[in-house]
Amino acid sequence: MMIPPAVNLGIDIRVLAEADGMAAQLAASQVGDYRDAETVLAFAENVDVITFDHEHVPQEILRQLVDRGVRVHPGPDALLYAQDKLLMRQKLTDLGLPVPTWARVRTEDELQTFLDDNGGRAVLKTPRGGYDGKGVRVVSAGHEASDWFAAVAETGANDGLLVEELVEFRRELAQLAARRPSGELVFWPVVESVQRDGVCAEVIAPAPGSAGRVADVAAGIAGQLASGLGITGVFAVELFETTDDRLLVNELAMRPHNSGHWTQDGSTTSQFEQHLRAVLDLPLGATGTREPHTVMVNILGGPSEGALADRYADAMAMHPTVKIHNYGKDPRPGRKVGHVNASGTELDDVVYQARAAAAFFQD
Amino acid sequence: MMIPPAVNLGIDIRVLAEADGMAAQLAASQVGDYRDAETVLAFAENVDVITFDHEHVPQEILRQLVDRGVRVHPGPDALLYAQDKLLMRQKLTDLGLPVPTWARVRTEDELQTFLDDNGGRAVLKTPRGGYDGKGVRVVSAGHEASDWFAAVAETGANDGLLVEELVEFRRELAQLAARRPSGELVFWPVVESVQRDGVCAEVIAPAPGSAGRVADVAAGIAGQLASGLGITGVFAVELFETTDDRLLVNELAMRPHNSGHWTQDGSTTSQFEQHLRAVLDLPLGATGTREPHTVMVNILGGPSEGALADRYADAMAMHPTVKIHNYGKDPRPGRKVGHVNASGTELDDVVYQARAAAAFFQD
């Protein structure tokens, strides 16, 4: 999704891509494995700046890139926190940012103690590699995590697992922001992120009723995070709005994020254009909304037979104002294969348009 | 500029490109000559639908494509009128559409007679190959065109030249529209096109004061043209608004057009997305404005040294709401190498933003 703004701005973009998806159609693309140092280092020789659309590139490779003088944004020191949830929780705590009560647990007994102290149920997370609800489990007894403890013990380091209180929240919010290496920092309006089965189902931008205190607190947290962690590029802070009106940091994504897909059609500057500007250290674009409300609905799984495109005729005929985004990926159950954005002045209608259009693409 | 919407919609786009420009970066691109039948026919074997971003593909090639069962939009019967200004004038006259007084002239004497009958000055045009003010000359005596008469006489056919009255116009307008093979037809708001030295310098969308009669007449003309000529895809009708309040058809472009570049950022559906939808016979997108006013300013020639991108930092810092489009072409005097779009609620400010941002890219 960074290709369209790169084409518009005349930026010569090169992609180290997995074979699947549209990116591999760029002549400048190379199909290869981001975990292979030789591949990444060779690829980096022909670019001025390197960035990633996920946080999983190994630290050793990131640091080799920096050592060779490649501009890497976000840099390895910042990405470390997005790669390891335990490091992130510790850093947020050190920065004095509001987080759920948490602990590092290495044994069933330690987990049981945490449960006993925190209402008998908690959220257990693997520090690395989780996304979209993977690597997250709600537990109410220490022995329910015996498999995960065994797995982390096998790694040798045995860094343990992250356990967090089960936060009583009203809703989930996300604060999208961008920061340049030279320090300029901009925020989009805070959004509401509606989750189903641990996966983002839809995003309402701005979050209803967020103007004023909520927007102020959310931007304040994101700003502290950005400077405290030295983030460059676009990043998203996922927040819990608790039933007692606090905002707690849930997760941190150090890249353009699903909660920011609404900006492609709903904001003056999309998160993908902004990320390109930020990593190139160009002045950041305006982050205002084009229309009072924009709603993004994810397309999950997709049609079991045939391509998404087979559903275009009906969806387009019924919803001429809705913008359809199709990632060109093979549908698999639960896989995000596209999304739609709807914008307008009446929130109820915008939600309806987005959901109804997306429904054409789901079985 | 069709690549970004193709990526968004997951449309597998393939480009037969000249070497210069971003399009050649697509892996699916082929560099070749559109005037070479073998090249075009071979390219067409791997696509479902074929379209063009100019009108100069020879009729013989277009007809061979159709004969082989390739869907070509717009088709050769329609494109013929965009390729030959004399045929177009005759067809518009047959359809009863308002055009400047015109004649086909084959000799200096015939031209002189037209001049004597029409106020002593007139616009002379070569029927084929002209664009951006090329192939257009204002004359006040028959002998001023001796070179052109000699040139058309040499072609053998001697179809002559097109002469038109010098219209007293208040301003130039353009009506952008799109039509599907199955007949659906949509119009964007009519725009004002400001020309300098025969080249479009800026576009104001919608044209100030055009709501009501002007918009109605302009759309009516475009609608008659579309069905009368069997146009498919996006097309633009350039119009004179005369000092006595008539609209006359000036030129016809049967493709996405410079007068429609404002739609990339100012309309719910850009002309490039719409063209893809139209030629694929998909339902057309909404053509409303995102903000009350959008102004497009062309970047002509560009910086004499260094790339457009060297000017980004200043332009972006001063104009964070302006959208910059860079075609990635080498600058040459008078060549269109990019454009900017500004949108907002106050027209005076929007014009200022667009002009001021574009000025950073011009020497």
Whether residue A197 is found in the same domain as residue A301: yes
pLDDT in tens, chain B (363 residues): 999 999 999 888 899 987 766 666 666 778 889 999 999 999 999 899 999 988 889 999 999 999 999 999 999 999 999 999 999 999 999 999 999 999 999 999 999 999 999 999 999 999 886 656 678 999 999 999 999 998 888 877 778 999 999 999 999 999 999 999 999 999 999 999 999 988 899 999 999 999 999 999 999 999 999 999 999 999 999 999 999 999 999 999 999 999 999 999 999 999 999 999 999 999 999 999 999 999 999 999 877 665 677 789 999 999 999 999 998 888 888 889 999 999 999 999 999 999 999 999 987
B126 and B222 in a common domain: no
Q: Could you report how far apart the first and last alpha carbons of chain A are, in Å?
A: 25
pLDDT digits (tens, 9 = 90+) for A53-108: 888 899 999 999 999 999 999 999 999 999 999 999 999 999 999 999 999 999 99
Is residue B183 a part of any domain in this protein?
yes
CATH number of the domain within which B112 lies: 3.30.1490.20
Residues A3-53 have pLDDT tens digits of 999 999 989 889 998 776 666 666 677 888 999 999 999 999 989 999 998
CA of B324, closest CA in chain A: separation in Å?
6
A168 labelled ligand-binding: no
Query: The CATH number of the domain where B290 resides is what?
Result: 3.30.470.20
Q: Is A326 on the interface with B (CB under 8 A)?
A: yes
- Nearest-angstrom CA–CA distance, A19 and B61: 35
Predicted local confidence at residue A255, as pLDDT: 96
What's the CA dihedral at B273, B274, B278, B281 to 10 degrees?
A: 60
Chain B within 8 Å of A291 (Cβ-Cβ)?
A: yes
Residues B187 and B283 in one domain: yes
Distance CA B104, CA B124 (A): 10
Is B10's CB within 8 Å of A285's CB?
A: no
The confidence score (pLDDT) of residue B304 equals 66
Residues of chain A positioned with their CB less than 8 A from the CB of B183:
none
- Interface check A257 vs B, CB under 8 A: no
- Between B264, B288, B324, which is nearest A9 by CB? B324
Q: Is A182 on the interface with B (CB under 8 A)?
A: no
Chains A and B: how many Cβ contacts under 8 Å?
Answer: 121
Give the pLDDT band (50/70/90) at residue A297: very high
Contact status of B267 with chain A (Cβ, < 8 Å): no
CA quadruple A200, A204, A210, A216: dihedral sign = positive
- Min Cα distance A186 → chain B (Å) is 11
**Neighbour count for residue B328 (Cβ, 10 Å):** 20
CB-nearest to A29 from B27, B285, B325 is B27
Dig out the tokens for A59 from the structure.
């630290």
Strand partners, B241: B171, B247
What total of structural domains would you count in chain B? 3
For helices A76-83 and A59-67, what crossing angle results, to 10°?
A: 170
Q: Is residue B289 domain-resident?
A: yes
Q: Prior bond to A333 cis, omega within 30?
A: no
Q: Is A132 inside a domain boundary?
A: yes
CATH of residue A19: 3.40.50.20
Residue B227 located in a structural domain? yes
Backbone φ and ψ for B55, nearest 5 degrees, come out as -105, 15
Residue whose token pair is 């060109």: A328
Which residues in chain A have Cβ-Cβ distances shorter than 8 Å to B324? 8-9
- The answer to whether the CB atoms of B282 and A312 lie below 8 A apart is yes
**Cβ pair A4:B7 closer than 8 A:** yes
The answer to whether the Cβ–Cβ distance between A25 and B8 falls below 8 Å is no
| pLDDT tens by residue, A126-159 | 988 665 667 899 999 999 999 999 888 887 777 8
Q: Do B327 and B349 share a domain, yes or no?
A: yes
What is the structure's pLDDT at B64? 96
Residue B301 belongs to some domain of the structure: yes
Whether residues B202 and B329 share a domain: the answer is yes
Task: Choose among A69, A64, A84, A202: nearest CA to A152.
Answer: A84
Claim to verify: residue B266 and residue B182 sit in the same structural domain? yes
Query: Up-side HSE of residue B49: CA atoms within 13 Å toward CB?
Result: 20
Shortest distance between the Cα of B112 and any Cα of chain A, in A, equals 48
What's the pLDDT at B231?
Answer: 97
Helix, strand counts (H, E) of chain A: 12, 17
Check: CB of residue B51 under 8 Å from CB of residue B15: no
Check the annotation: does B85 bind a ligand. yes
Residue of A nearest to B265 (CA): A268
B250 is in an annotated binding site: yes
The answer to whether residue B212 neighbours chain A at the CB level (below 8 Å) is no
| A181 and A287 inside one domain | yes
Measure in Å the smallest separation between the Cα of A29 and chain B Cα atoms.
8
Q: Which one has a higher pLDDT value, A222 or A329?
A: A222
Give residue B244's region: left, alpha or beta (phi > 0; psi -120 to 50): alpha
Q: Are residues A43 and A132 in the same domain?
A: no
Put simply, the answer to whether A26 touches B24 (Cβ < 8 Å) is no
* Residue B3 at interface with chain A, using a CB cutoff of 8 Å: yes
Q: Are residues A345 and A263 in the same domain?
A: yes
Residue the block writes with tokens 């918009």 = B215
Does B321 contact A288 at a Cβ distance shorter than 8 Å? Answer: yes
Per-residue CA distances from B247 to A269, A321, B220 (Å): 37, 30, 11
**Facing B277 at nearest CB: one of A5, A316, A338:** A316
Q: State the smallest CA–CA distance between residue A281 and chain B in angstroms.
A: 9
- A327 to B10: CB separation less than 8 angstroms, yes or no: yes
* B164 annotated as ligand-binding: yes
Nearest chain B residue (CA) to A267: B321
Q: End of a domain among B123, B150, B165?
A: B165
Same domain for A33 and A112:
no
Task: Please name the amino acid found at residue B242.
Answer: T
**A309 touches B: beta carbon within 8 Å:** yes
What interhelical angle do B37-44 and B59-67 show, nearest 10?
30
The predicted-structure confidence for B325-355, as pLDDT tens digits, reads as follows 998 888 888 889 999 999 999 999 999 999 9
Indicate whether A138 and A278 sit together in one domain: no
Q: Which residue among B9, B316, B326 places its CB closest to the CB of A277?
A: B316
Return the pLDDT at B140. Answer: 96
Q: Which residues pair with B325 in a beta bridge?
A: B339
Nearest Cα residue to B327 out of B14, B23, B9, B41 = B23
Q: Is residue A88 situated within a structural domain? A: no
| Candidates A1, A2, A25, partner chain B, best to mutate (most B CBs within 10 A) | A25
Dihedral of the alpha carbons of B333, B270, B214, B212, in degrees to the nearest 10 = -150
Enclosing H/E stretch for B151: helix B146-154
The answer to whether B178 contacts chain A (CB < 8 Å) is: no
A313 touches chain B (CB under 8 A): yes
Q: If residue A171 lies in a helix (H) or strand (E), which one and from where to where?
A: strand A169-179
- Region of B258 (left: φ > 0; alpha: ψ -120 to 50; beta: rest) is alpha
Residue B345 dihedral angles phi and psi, to the nearest 5°:
-95, -20
Domain assignment of residue B92, yes or no = no
| pLDDT band with cut points at 50, 70 and 90 for residue A125 | very high
How much is the mean pLDDT over chain A? 92
CA-closest candidate to residue B62, choices B53, B46, B75, B52 = B75
Which residues, at least 6 apart from B275, have a Cβ–Cβ distance to it below 8 Å? B2, B51, B178, B233, B234, B255, B256
Closest CA to B318 of B292, B354, B287, B344: B354
Domain boundary among B142, B165, B188: B165
Q: A362 is written with which tokens? A: 């789901």
* pLDDT tens digits, B87-129: 999 999 999 999 999 999 999 999 999 999 999 999 999 988 6
Tell whether omega for the bond before B5 is within 30 degrees of 0, i.e. cis: no
B359 CB-near residues (< 8 Å, 6+ apart): none
B326–chain A Cβ distance below 8 A for any pair = yes
Chain A residues with beta carbon closer than 8 angstroms to that of B27 = 24-27, 29
User: Residue A304 has what pLDDT?
Assistant: 66
Residues B132 and B193 in one domain: no
Cβ contact A308:A300 at 8 Å = no
- Last residue of some domain: B127, B145, B165? B165
Residue A250, marked binder: yes
Q: Would residue A94 count as lying in a domain?
A: no
Q: Which value does ipTM take for this structure?
A: 0.91
Domain with B116, as residue range(s), is 101-165
From chain B, the residues in CB contact with A307 under 8 A are: 10
Residues of chain B numbered 271-290 and touching chain A (CB < 8 Å)? 277, 282-286, 288, 290
Q: Which chain A residues are within 8 Å of B4, Cβ to Cβ?
A: 3-5, 7-8
